Structure 1
Amino acid sequence: MERPCIKVCDYDDDTGWCRGCGMTKPERKAWKRAREYREAILENLPARLEAMEKAGHATGEAARKRK
């Protein structure tokens, strides 16, 4: 399974979610060693990115362009 990181790595101060992929720093660090949690991590990302977009934050590729 490929990791969802798109190498933006700009974390929201309020939520701790990456504006690029939606993962938290601990999830990003655990990705390689905690294979059993990958599916659960992936399930949460779309809702996180959507919530950040609704709050007016650039996410995904748009967050890359913002930098």
Structure 2
Amino acid sequence: MERPCIKVCEYDDDSGWCRGCGMTKPEKKAWKRVRGYRGAILGALPARLAAMAAEGHATGEAARGKK
């Protein structure tokens, strides 16, 4: 399974979610170690990115270089 990280790594101050991929810092660290958790992480990402976008934040590739 390919990692969802797109190397943007800018985190939302309120939620702690990465604006590039939607993962939290602990989830990014757990990705390699806890393979059984990957499906749960992947399942949560679209809703997280949509929630941040609905609040007016740039997400995914659009977040590259934005703060």
Residue matched to 1:15: 15
How far is 1:31 from its partner? 0.2
Kindly tell me the number of residue pairs found equivalent between the two proteins.
67
| RMSD over aligned Cα atoms | 0.9
Q: Which runs of 5+ in 2 are unaligned?
A: none
**Cα shift at 1:66:** 2.5
What is the TM-score of this pair, normalised by structure 1?
Answer: 0.96
User: 1:6-45 to 2 correspondence within 5 Å?
Assistant: 6-45=6-45
CA offset at residue 6 of structure 1? 0.2
Q: 2:51 aligns to what?
A: 51
Give the TM-score, by structure 2 length.
Answer: 0.96
Residue identity over aligned pairs, in percent, reads: 79
